[in-house]
Structure 1
């Protein structure tokens, strides 16, 4: 009997914590849960994935909270781009949320008018050559002037919803190679696209294409004040 009870606990608990984690971290009933409880569950995921010292906790917490609130996602893959870090550091992360696994960790370029080594200025305007913050859904890949590339749909009005109009896509670029950062002191910059090293562009795009979530983070009170996905009560 004791063995049967133990087996039942092992079977039931993982499902319980998965469902609870989805709810606390930003699922449909998240507004009824206070911010400390939500942070506790997101913290469990952070620790389970062994992200301490690798991923900025606040960036991760915001990314996961929004991820669970986006009903249109079709894949349980989350990409976080952390622009609080310099371009010389690996600041793109691709997470498999089902397997609780970090799939890719890479450098990524920001827009030429967003800043030098750090991205500090952001825009949704056509011709700004700046990066845009916030949540996106990935669409389909295509062959363009930058080779194998991935279409993105910005989900936040006034923040990144002109991504298609501005041709903001994920693509590979020679200027996004770590060797450029070592020689020049920063990565080369894009016209606003999150550009990755050429040797990683295809595997990253293939992993995230078809309806996964991308979150581009910066320490920006202005973004949080205007986001249609993240609310102040979501993140405390």
Structure 2
């Protein structure tokens, strides 16, 4: 694919996606399509010093600042990274929310899934990621951009290897940080525990979601994980 064309497509669609990608807070995955109505200008409310600041995360949108950061990271990568789709793990959101957003940058659709974070990132098992780590044995999630690599069958069943592209996650391959399915990432965990279980730093998704996650990710695409 022509690099200049790909960059223009990313930037064009990134601007469209930034404000309106809807995701659920109580189900495993949903899909949403942009419409002309979502692009209409909206009146800005008058500022009020008595109104509390908006929460860091929302159960209904992929936050624009996170999307901008992910697209900037994608744009900084070389030609070895596909530019048609991207996955964003919003680790500022709790594990009870569908926070693993798989976005089609060409047609403006997204689908979001539950995903676990590492036990070393949430030692008290609060459901919220507290910290990142890139160290072997930390069992923590790492922040930054990942390149999706090949599929294999390992101790977690069908899995996909990831290559860390940043200094904050460049140990992903030797740490065996991968995408795989796990029972503790199933939606039923929310009914019984109010949060997902924890991985050893991997992106663990629900067992019923793995096929679609793999299909949408494919090889050679970017996953961006951050807490902003």
Query: Which TM-score tier does this pair reach, normalised by the shorter chain?
Result: 0.7 to 0.9
Counterpart of 1:207 in structure 2 is 216
Larger radius of gyration: 1
* Equivalent residue in structure 1 for 2:102, among 94, 104, 110: 94
Give the superposition deviation at 1:148. Answer: 1.1
Q: What whole-Å deviation, never above 9, does each CA across 1:207-229 have from its counterpart, x for those lacking one?
A: 2121001000102xxxxxxxxxx
Quickly say closer, same or farther: Cα 1:183–1:213, change in 2 above 3 A: same
Give CA-to-partner distance per residue, 1:105-164, whole Å, 9 cap, x none.
Answer: 11100001111310111100000000000001101111111111100000012x100001
Q: Which of 70, 76, 92 lines up with 1:63 in the alignment?
A: 70
Q: Which residue of 1 aligns with 2:193?
A: 184
Structure 2 stretches lacking a partner, 5+ long: 22-33, 39-57
- 1:19, distance to aligned residue in structure 2 (A): 6.0
- Deviation of 1:47 after TM superposition, in Å, equals 4.6
Instruction: Indicate if the aligned counterparts of 1:75 and 1:211 stay in contact, CA closer than 8 A.
Output: no
The answer on 1:76 being equivalent to 2:48 is no
1:196 to 200, 205, 216: 205
Corresponding residue pairs, total: 186
* TM-score normalized by the length of structure 1: 0.72
**Structure 1 unpaired stretches of 5+:** 1-15, 26-39, 220-236
1:75·1:210 contact (CA, 8 Å) conserved in 2?
A: no
Q: Give me the whole-angstrom Cα distance separating, in 2, the residues matched to 1:161 and 1:155.
A: 6
- Asked if structure 2 preserves the Cα contact closer than 8 Å seen for 1:148 and 1:202, the reply is no
Q: Contact (CA 8 Å) 1:138, 1:153: kept in 2 or not?
A: yes
Q: Name 1:110's counterpart in structure 2.
A: 117
CA distance in 2, matches of 1:124, 1:18: 31
Q: Aligned-pair distance for 1:92? A: 0.5
Q: How does 1:29-48 map to 2 (within 5 A)?
A: 42-47=14-19
C-alpha separation in 2, matches of 1:81 and 1:105: 9
Per the TM alignment, residue 18 of structure 1 is displaced from its structure 2 partner at its CA by 7.8
Q: Which residue of the partner structure matches residue 46 of structure 2?
A: none
SS at match of 2:211: helix
Distance 1:125 1:213, change over 3 A: same
Counterparts of 1:148-227 in structure 2, within 5 Å, are 148-157=158-167, 159-219=168-228
Greater helix proportion: 1
Distance 1:48 1:107, change over 3 A: closer
- Contact 1:113/1:128, CA 8 A, preserved across alignment: yes
Q: In the alignment, which residue of structure 1 is the partner of 2:25?
A: none
Q: Taking structure 2 as the reference length, what is the TM-score of the superposition?
A: 0.74
| Distance apart, 1:206 and its partner CA | 2.4
Shift, 1:20, TM fit: 4.8
Conserved in 2, the CA contact under 8 Å of 1:141 and 1:209? no
Contact 2:20 2:61 in 1 (8 A): no
